[in-house]
Structure 1
Amino acid sequence: MGVMLIAGQLLSLFAKVAVAAFLLKAYLHSGRRSPIYLAIAWLVSAVVVLMDTLDMETLVAVFYALFSAVLFYGSLLFLIEEGQVSLKRPWIWALPPIVGTIYSLLLGSGWESRVGVSYGISAFYVFLAGVTIASAEADFPTARRAGIALALFGLHEMDYPVLRDVQWFAPIGFALGAFLTVLSAYLMAKMVLSERFIGSKPAVEVKPGVRLLTRRDYERVVTHLKDYPVLAFLREPNTFPAWTGYMLTAVTGDMRIHPTNLARMSEIVSRYLREASAQDVTGVVVIDGVEFLVTYNGLQPVLKFLATLRDMALVNRALLLVFIEEGAWNPKELSMLKRIFAGE
């Protein structure tokens, strides 16, 4: 068991340092803030392994609390960057493990009250960090898998204060902990090294602006952009792997949006343009099926929606391409539509 323990600790230490290195690489490439905090968290977790090897239980509790707090903070930053939540001071939500550990160490007497309570709170926040990351959008499956693995790791860690003295469970708990550590580190490295997280500068050059085009132009324009990371809202399923395409339909499902949910579409566009701008890439948004949106929402709400997208594109120096069936509009409606794209 002693040899297994040492081997497991070395494997865990290597996995944590390795994922921290990948996170730092992702930070340098993406410009996001979340990878730097997640990297710090995993490095602190490596220190936990060293403190545990030296049998310094108090320092194990302190560094484990710091690990869970920074990890949870990094996971909140990840969701903020993804545009899924909006928090003014996310660091406040990461304080409970640190506060709980200080309280336990100052006022506790035995192991259970001094270290056990602290360890349990910290492990719970590791679980919460995993749940937070796992709540990523459906089009980011690597993040979901990394979050699930991290949540399982946190759940397993929560049983340590209760089962640490159960001898028959020790080898099982040790093996399971080592496996979940390596799995979490591996999946998080895949998450932050994915093109969805880092982004890539496309070879195709595009000029920012807003364009109102007819369906006759559709094939020519989209063929030019088929390898570009376009965000598209389409009436037909997306056929370009490089695109993030949402289908406008009343039928529910992944990568589908109900035509009445204009607010959700605006939110997705806003997040995409922020990410593209942060990566120094010209965002491109394609809207096809405006007539379908008018059928469900009426003319004025759709015109306001398109005006909002135009403003987003101009502010973020992006390209907005809107395709219409010109014959489906009467002269007055078409005039109002053209004024939006003329900036009047």
Structure 2
Amino acid sequence: MMELIFGSAFLISYVLLFYNYHLTGRKALVYYALAWFSLSIHFFIPRKSIYAVGLAFFAFLIWLGNIRASEELLCATKYSRELRYFSAVPLAGLIFLFPENLTASFAVLSASIMFSGVYLVSTGNRDLRLMGLLEGIFAVTSFLRGYYFSSQYIALVEALLAFLLAYVSIKTFLDSSFIGEFEVMDVKTELKSGLRMMGSVPPEVLEGALVFSRQKRDLPNWFWVTKVSDEGISPTNLPKILDITVKFMKKASERGKHAVIVIDGLEYLVLENGFSSVIKFLATMRDYALLHNATIVIMGDDSFLDERGRKILRKLLD
């Protein structure tokens, strides 16, 4: 009976993560969902060998999920792509160490989960850091679970951690994703696709564009960027701004329309996030704009930047 309860907790985590993937489109949630599913099986087939296989695939998937999560939330480290290859370590540990070296095999599997959690902590993102810490605790629990497989207490702690980690993962991606509809209108403009900077934008363009501004207006597709109200978007939530922008571009492209995105308040974003984070954010937006034949307009000027900052920004401008 207890095994059924624990297994159900993992399966519920799987269902919730997969459902939220459909809501948000965040591909990291697919990896996380499959990771929890792989761990649920041993509760229905209670064998140590099944647990070892499930834990190996969990470590493999959680590593890939963490790399993808850091990319989707714009805080990937310099060598994140190369780190993908280390996801094979837990599978190699299972093949070469289990079952002859039981303790060593579980040590390798747990260490893989631990290091993937350390990667999240190293990103500096507050939400990912919490997920990384929980994964570190889960890694210790998984090692004890493999060593004391018959312990119901450790199984309970592991199941509770699974559910907590799933909840934190879902909340992190819901907070950074847009779930809603757009009004995609025709915008009469001769602007070419890419990233541009303009001192002002004509009213007729603003009415049909997707706008992020420090000013609050009751217009379609106008998002208020502010820290003082839950009605707007926090200036530090760059992943959500990017998510809204990309979904708007895709929808406009599907309807054969030219999307225009206006960012009013670049200085505010730089002040809240730092120059390097905003440049990475703008570079990603520019790539999507070129892909979907859209135009991103930075409204204002770059006088608040130093000479080096202006040179870097102007390299991005089309």
Q: Same fold (TM over 0.5)?
A: yes
> What amino acid is aligned across from residue 196 of structure 1 in structure 2?
S
The 5-angstrom pairing of residues 108-257 of structure 1 reads 108=100, 113=101, 115-135=102-122, 138=125, 141=127, 143-160=128-145, 164=148, 170=151, 172-192=153-173, 194-197=174-177, 200-202=180-182, 210-213=196-199, 222-224=215-217, 238-239=227-228, 242-245=232-235, 255-257=272-274
Match of 2:18 among 10, 13, 24: 24
- Preserved contact between residue 21 and residue 27 of structure 2 (Cα < 8 Å): yes
How far apart, in 1, do the equivalents of 2:68 and 2:146 lie? 29
The 5-angstrom pairing of residues 27-176 of structure 1 reads 27-51=21-45, 53=46, 56-83=47-74, 84-85=76-77, 87-88=80-81, 90-105=83-98, 108=100, 113=101, 115-135=102-122, 138=125, 141=127, 143-160=128-145, 164=148, 170=151, 172-176=153-157
Task: Rate the CA distance shift 1:264–1:180 in 2: closer, same or farther, 3 A.
Answer: closer
- Give TM-score, length-normalised by structure 2: 0.66
SS of 2:304's equivalent in the other structure is: helix
Shift of 1:98: 0.9
| Aligned sequence identity (%) | 16
Partner of 1:270: 283
- Preserved contact between residue 198 and residue 300 of structure 2 (Cα < 8 Å): no
Residue 304, structure 1, aligned to residue 311, structure 2: yes
How far apart, in 1, do the equivalents of 2:223 and 2:83 lie? 30
Task: Rate the CA distance shift 1:183–1:102 in 2: closer, same or farther, 3 A.
Answer: same
SS of 1:152's equivalent in the other structure is: helix
SS of 1:292's equivalent in the other structure is: coil
Task: Rate the CA distance shift 1:32–1:184 in 2: closer, same or farther, 3 A.
Answer: closer
- Preserved contact between residue 70 and residue 120 of structure 2 (Cα < 8 Å): yes
- Preserved contact between residue 27 and residue 35 of structure 1 (Cα < 8 Å): yes
- Preserved contact between residue 65 and residue 98 of structure 1 (Cα < 8 Å): yes
Shift of 1:49: 2.2
How far apart, in 2, do the equivalents of 1:238 and 1:77 lie? 27
- Preserved contact between residue 197 and residue 317 of structure 2 (Cα < 8 Å): no
> What amino acid is aligned across from residue 310 of structure 1 in structure 2?
L
How far apart, in 2, do the equivalents of 1:228 and 1:197 lie? 15
Shift of 1:46: 0.9
Task: Rate the CA distance shift 1:292–1:191 in 2: closer, same or farther, 3 A.
Answer: closer
Structure 2 residues not aligned, in runs of 5+: 207-211, 237-265
Between the two proteins, the alignment pairs up a number of residues equal to 272
- Preserved contact between residue 118 and residue 133 of structure 2 (Cα < 8 Å): yes
Structure 1 residues not aligned, in runs of 5+: 1-5, 312-344
How far apart, in 2, do the equivalents of 1:175 and 1:119 lie? 19
- Give TM-score, length-normalised by structure 1: 0.62
The RMSD of aligned alpha carbons is: 4.3
How far apart, in 2, do the equivalents of 1:265 and 1:50 lie? 47
Shift of 1:64: 1.5
- Preserved contact between residue 119 and residue 158 of structure 1 (Cα < 8 Å): yes
Give CA deviations for 1:244-296 in whole Å, capped at 9, x if unaligned: 425959x99xx342xxx4x4431132345668999x9x796756673221xxx
How far apart, in 2, do the equivalents of 1:34 and 1:181 lie? 16
